[in-house]
Amino acid sequence: MRRALAVGLVFSGCCSNVVFLELLAREFPGCGNIVTFAQFLFIAVEGFIFEANFGRKRPAIPIRYYLIMVAMFFTVSVVNNYALNLNIAMPLHMIFRSGSLIASMVLGIIILKKRYSVSKYTSIALVSMGIFICTLMSAKQVASKSSLSEADGLHVFMWWLLGIVALTFALLMSARMGIFQETIYKQFGKHSKEALFYNHALPLPGFLLLAPDIYAHAVLFSQSEPFQVPGIGLTLPIMWFYLVVNVVTQYVCIRGVFILTTECTSLTVTLVVTLRKFVSLIFSILYFKNPFTAWHWLGTLFVFVGTLMYTEVWTSLGPLLAKQKKEAKKE
């Protein structure tokens, strides 16, 4: 029952979160900072009440380790959301972030001296090829905008290129953070709820550096058209409604993944999250009519097949189904 609930929370929360993020980004492409701040604030307040017990509960992991983790987490979150300001379309954003396996493997080889099987290297090659195809096709779309002059077109393309650099940096930083977390959890044990709270609470002062941009977008949000919330009759600017729903669905998504990690194997978690990303991508393409060519579809196929190969779903799924079938016969 809890597994089904967790899967439902992941799909409903994460997919809805992507939809409302795109609604926000389409209206105000530079709203990444206010979205990140709202998400961090909500999760920090919830964690302060229910996890930290209003500050009375001592952390199991020393704060100095959280400060390092937080510096990386804050950077990744801000850079990922800011990339939407740099002419990065939402489908490319999702596909690029699906390349975390590549970054994890590369840094694992360099830092942890890990070695992998041939199938793992093959899967990473597929993911890399898929991301390369999608990025190349998106570059051609940006460069071929006929409505722009040559100078303006070059300007737009350079901003897009900067967005790709930002996504690449965030991908590598996220992988490095994962390795750091792995070493910390081995030393002090897993405390995911605690980590979730501190990773969102400690970076809050850092948003003071982004205060002018956050305030400017808060004003713009307040000037958006009024919207009456169904069921409760409350009227508020529609952009604030989008932001509130985005924040709530982000929390639902994170909680769903947390329940999933406690109830299922890491293989199942990876499979569910991968399928969720695929559903979000398809919805983004169909509902928002984002440009997506046959080459994009091919690249997407490479990314998701490579991800499933990496998790060894094909070799693990057979024995799992056979075991379930055997148990069903016994009953």
Number of DSSP helices (H) and strands (E) in the chain, helices first: 14, 2
pLDDT of amino acid 76: 86
pLDDT digits (tens, 9 = 90+) for 85-144: 777 777 777 777 767 767 777 787 888 777 878 887 888 788 778 877 877 776 666 555
- What's the first-to-final CA gap in the chain, in angstroms? 19
Question: Minimal CA–CA distance to 128: which of 305, 312, 268, 314?
Answer: 305
d(CA 175, CA 106): 9
pLDDT of amino acid 146: 45
Task: Determine the average pLDDT of the residues in 167-194.
Answer: 84
Question: Minimal CA–CA distance to 306: which of 129, 110, 171?
Answer: 129
d(CA 286, CA 279): 11
Among 59-63, 223-227, 275-279, the range scoring the smallest mean pLDDT is: 275-279
| Cβ pair 98, 277 in contact under 8 A | yes
221 or 161, higher pLDDT: 221
> How far does CA 280 lie from the centroid of its chain?
11
pTM, to two decimals: 0.73
pLDDT of amino acid 24: 92
CA distances from 170 to 72, 175, 213, 313 (A): 9, 9, 21, 27
Among 23-37, 76-90, 259-273, the range scoring the smallest mean pLDDT is: 259-273
pLDDT of amino acid 265: 57
pLDDT of amino acid 271: 63
SS3 237: strand
pLDDT digits (tens, 9 = 90+) for 230-267: 888 889 999 999 999 999 999 888 888 877 766 765 55
